[in-house]
Homo-oligomer: A and B are copies of this chain.
Amino acid sequence: MSAAAHLDEIDRILLRELQRDGRASYTALAEATGLSAPAVRQRVQRLRDEGVVQIVGVTDPMALGLPVMALIGVRTDADVHAVADRIGELSGVIYVVLTSGSFDLFVEVVCEKPAELLKILNDHVKRVPGVTRAEAFTYFGIHTHRFAWPGT
């Protein structure tokens, strides 16, 4: 799912095109790469199977009626993976990363109302065993969200 991969130039072209349009046809991808449609299909399938790329609909939380978003910085003195497992299962949690620095993990949360965020923070995140601190950074908005990365 996240092992080092051996991507050649054609894989990178495919990834770049898919980052721009996840529904690009195999025919269009074939044109972009110079390969045949069956060949690109096989490659795209391999890239998806290997977890190199996920082709998904990324939704706008506002439009979905989830205007309250926050990053929550979490500190723990217990096993960080175990804590991440527990937090990752909470409703509203969409992203959990393990970090170094003054927080051990960051959690991204989306919800309908401020009261829900408070509940997630106080009744759920802070009550996970081993959590010693949880600080919420409420979003005023997403400024930049880029899918086309350097190296592609």
A contacts, CB < 8 Å to B: 1-5, 7, 15, 18-23, 50-66, 69-71, 73, 81, 84-85, 88, 91-103, 105-106, 110-112, 135-147, 149-152
A-B contacts, 29 listed (Cβ < 8 Å)? A2-B62, A5-B60, A15-B57, A19-B59, A20-B56, A21-B55, A22-B56, A22-B57, A51-B60, A52-B60, A53-B60, A54-B57, A54-B147, A56-B147, A57-B147, A58-B147, A59-B149, A66-B149, A71-B97, A81-B143, A94-B145, A94-B146, A95-B144, A95-B145, A95-B146, A97-B139, A97-B140, A100-B140, A106-B137
- A18 nearest in chain B by CB position: B57
Which residues of the partner chain B approach A98 to less than 8 Å between Cβ atoms?
139-141, 143
Report whether B7 and A99 are in contact in the complex, using a CB–CB cutoff of 8 Å. no
Q: Which of B23, B61, B73 contacts A22 (CB 8 A)?
A: B23
In angstroms, Cα B94 to Cα A147, docked, is 7
CB-CB under 8 A for A21 and B149, given A97-B139, A138-B101, A139-B97? no
Which residues of the partner chain B approach A52 to less than 8 Å between Cβ atoms?
59-60, 63-64
In angstroms, Cα B74 to Cα A139, docked, is 13
Min CB distance A130 to B, Å, is 15
Report whether B19 and A99 are in contact in the complex, using a CB–CB cutoff of 8 Å. no
